[in-house]
Structures are given as structure tokens and as C-alpha cells.
Chains A and B, each alone.
Chain A
Amino acid sequence: MSENVLTTGPIGKTGSWFHRYANPGRFLRLVQPTLPWLAGISIILTVTGIVWGYAFAPADWQQGAAVRIMYVHVPAAWVAMAGYAALAACSLFSIVWRHPLADLAAEEIGPVGAGFTAVCLISGSLWGKPMWGAYWVWDARLTSVLILFFLYLGHIALIRAFDNPAHGHRAAAILALVGAINLPIIVFSVQWWNTLHQGNTISITGGSKIYITMLYPLIIGSLGFYLCFITLVCTRMCAAIMERRTRGLLLAAAERASHAAPTYAERAS
């Protein structure tokens, strides 16, 4: 454990707990066997949700068949926001406890989250044209999601912008934490401002304004998208851990070889 890590008090004790149960080697041993299962379940749920939404869900009385875009747009939007929340949480763990896995997770969440945000923006744009008459409007919801996409891109770029990777992770973690303020703005933008984007249709506290035959494929598709995100990030983290281990082993072997080989002076004498 790094000498900078706080090991006393409640925060320090929490940090020790995280370090004990989530070091990269233990993560690899724990997660690797679950990856085929995670991948299988996420493919089944995602394909079911997408096919159900595309081919079998009923058309909306106002929007007609265009409502089918909801079954990819809404899950992508939810995952984009949840992914950024996870990124901010990893950044907090990284800054407070210098957690090695948190940096690794943040690095792998970035590209996957940016991809889901891009899907959300493109599908939203394709939904906007037939409904609003424009692919894009500078509406509060659309603009705040575009900012989320730029935050993801900034995080990806900042991690790789320094010669010392630790500095890159630190700078990107600060950006991710500051950018987390955008999440409540996205969620409440449709309440705080008059927006072209429709208000919240689904509520976990009850009062959802969506019929059950539309809700089922949406929930199944969303679960599939969430699981896809988790599977992709975990797989990429495992790959990153193995890549680091390979680099370490190759470096150690090169160092051993350089010590074992006789120097020029030894060979000359």
C-alpha cells in the first residue's frame, strides 16, 4: 500500500477494507469466472428487449411507430448517466484512497460510457426529426447530455495526456468529480426549464405514465444494457490487469537478463 494512503480513522479503515477485498489480482480471480455468465445473460436480455421493442411493442397513439426508438434511446441514456456516476465514484475512491482498481475502472468506464452517450444522442436526434421537425435543438436536456459526452471525451483524453500515468489519472479524476454536477442537471432539466424534450415518464416512486405493454420491453432492454455495460467494463478491466502483469513480467525478465549478462569490461578482461 502506498505511504500516502490514510490508514487510521473511519476513512482510513474503509480504505484498508477496499484494498484488502479489491486488489487487481483478487479482482481478476473473482470476476474472470463470472464473465461468460454475465456476457450470456446480457446478450439474452439486450436482444430480447431490442427485438420486442422493434417488432412487437405497440405503437403510441400520438407518436405512432416512432416510439420504438424509445427502446434503445432511453436505456442508452440511463446507462450513460449511471456510467458517469460510476466514473465519479471511482474517481472519489482514487483521490481519497489511491485505490489501484479505481483508476483502472475509471480508465475503462470512459470509452464505454462515451459510446452509450453517443448512441443516446444519435438515437435522440433521429427521434427528434419526425417529432419536432429538427435533428437538434439547444434544449436543456439535449445540451446537458451533449456536455456529458464532452466530459467523457475530456476524461479519456486527460488520462492519456501526461507522461506519468498517475498524474493523468489524478487530473481525470478531478474532472470526473467536478463534472458529476451535470448529472442532477440532466435529470431535473425537464422540470427546471421549459424544454422541448418530454418530461419524466417513468418513476421508481410510482406514477409512471407508460402502459405495461411498453414498460416490459423497456425494462428488459434497460437491464440488458446495464449488464452489457458491466460486462464490457469488467472484461476490459481484466484485460488491462493482464496487460499490466505481462508488461511487469517482461520488464522483470529484461532486468534479470541485463544483470546476468557480462558487462563489456568483464568480457574484455
Chain B
Amino acid sequence: MNLAPFIDGSYGVTAVFLLGIGIQTYHRYRRAAKRLGAVETR
């Protein structure tokens, strides 16, 4: 049985999840900091 698709699939899912949630969290943090900064200096 060719195991490569199962191994690559597991690592692929993990990488996509970690990258996805990491990027989403980073952008949310940056947006929140930017908006707070703008409101505080108003």
C-alpha cells in the first residue's frame, strides 16, 4: 500500500490549520491594535 498520500495528507491538514489560524489571529490582532490606536488618538 502506498502510504505517501496518508502521511502527506496528515501533515498537509496540520500545516494548513496552523498557518490558517496563525495568519487569521495575527490579522485580527493587528486590526484590533490599529483601530484602538485610531480611536484613542481621536
Q: Give me the interface of A with B, judged by CB distance under 8 Å.
A: 46, 50, 54, 64-66, 68-69, 72-73, 76, 111-112, 115-116, 118-119, 122-123, 126-127, 129-130, 228, 232, 235-236, 238-240, 242-243, 245-246, 249-250, 253
Chain B residues with a Cβ closer than 8 Å to the other chain, count: 27
Inter-subunit contact A119/B14 (CB<8 Å): yes
Is A72 a contact of B32 with CB atoms below 8 Å? no
Residues of chain B with a CB closer than 8 A to A238's CB: 29, 32
- Give min CB distance, A152 to chain B, whole Å: 14
Tell me if A64 and B3 are in contact (CB < 8 A). Answer: yes
- Check if B13 sits within 8 Å of A119, measured CB to CB: yes
CB-defined A-B contacts under 8 Å, sample of 12: A46-B18, A68-B7, A76-B14, A116-B17, A122-B10, A122-B13, A123-B14, A127-B6, A232-B22, A235-B29, A245-B36, A253-B42
Complex Cα gap A235–B39 (Å): 20
**Shortest distance from the beta carbon of B15 to any chain A beta carbon, whole Å:** 8
Name A50's contact: one of B13, B14, B26, B28 (CB within 8 Å): B14
B→A interface (CB under 8 Å):
1, 3-4, 6-7, 9-11, 13-15, 17-18, 21-22, 25-26, 28-29, 31-33, 35-36, 39-40, 42
Q: Could you tell me if A130 and B18 are in contact, using CB atoms closer than 8 angstroms?
A: no
A235 to B32 Cα, complex, angstroms:
11
B residues within 8 A CB of A119?
A: 13-14, 17
Instruction: A154 to B6: give the CA distance in the assembly, Å.
Output: 30
Q: Is the contact region of chain B dominated by helix, strand, or loop, or is it mixed?
A: helix
Pick the contact of B35: A72, A73, A115, A246 (CB < 8 A): A246
| B11 near A50: Cβ-Cβ < 8 Å | yes
Complex CA gap A206/B31 in Å reads 47
Residue of B nearest to A133 (CB): B1
CA distance A236 to B11 in the complex (A): 25
Supposing A242-B36, A246-B35, A249-B40 touch, asked if A127 and B22 sit within 8 A by C-beta, the answer is no
B42 surroundings in chain A (CB, below 8 A) = 253
Which residue from chain B places its CB closest to the CB of A69 in the assembled complex? B10
- Is B14 touching A54 in the complex (CB atoms < 8 A)? no
Min distance, Cβ B14 to any Cβ of chain A, angstroms: 4
Q: How far is the CB of A209 from chain B (nearest CB, A)?
A: 22
Q: How far apart are the CA atoms of A54 and B9 in the complex, in Å?
A: 12
Question: Which residues of the other chain, A, contact B11 by a CB distance below 8 angstroms?
Answer: 50, 54, 68, 72
Q: Name which of B3, B15, B22 has the most chain A CB atoms within 10 A of its CB.
A: B3
Q: What's the least CB distance linking B10 to chain A, in Å?
A: 4
